[in-house]
Amino acid sequence: TTTSSSSSKKDVNNISKPDFGRHVEDCELDKSNIVMIGPTGSGKTLLVKTLAKLIDVPLVVTDATCLTQAGYVGEDVESILFKLYIESGQDIERCQRGIVYIDETDKIRKSGGNVSISRDVSGEGVQHALLKIVEGNIVNVPK
């Protein structure tokens, strides 16, 4: 189904009303990861923030363009999980149910050219580290 941006904004605004989630029931999710696609300003972040509030889980919102490979200057992928741990009040069970929202994932890509000359610290290495998390692998979280 295709909807216009203004229609999507109306739907998102309905979700953010105080009485929207009063009758939310527990449910089992088949997948623990989703991809949301939409134009800038369509309400993706608002939707995630509202959902996290509604179901009372910790939320970390981060920008993929700030991520670098572990060992380089910048934020590495594993530090996102540490932020979620802190956001959960250092409660492992709450942390495991939390939401990690990574914006701008379309902006990270493998660099072209000779990798031995220039390091690709924010491209392919970041993709591999994110993939480990998305696939549900065990990841060492730095403190």
Question: In this predicted model, what pLDDT tens digit does every residue of 100-142 receive, in sequence order?
Answer: 998 887 777 665 555 554 555 657 788 888 888 888 788 777 6
Q: Are 17 and 54 in contact (CB under 8 A)?
A: no
Question: In this predicted model, what pLDDT tens digit does every residue of 78-103 receive, in sequence order?
Answer: 888 999 999 999 999 999 889 999 88
> CA–CA separation, 124 vs 113, rounded Å?
13
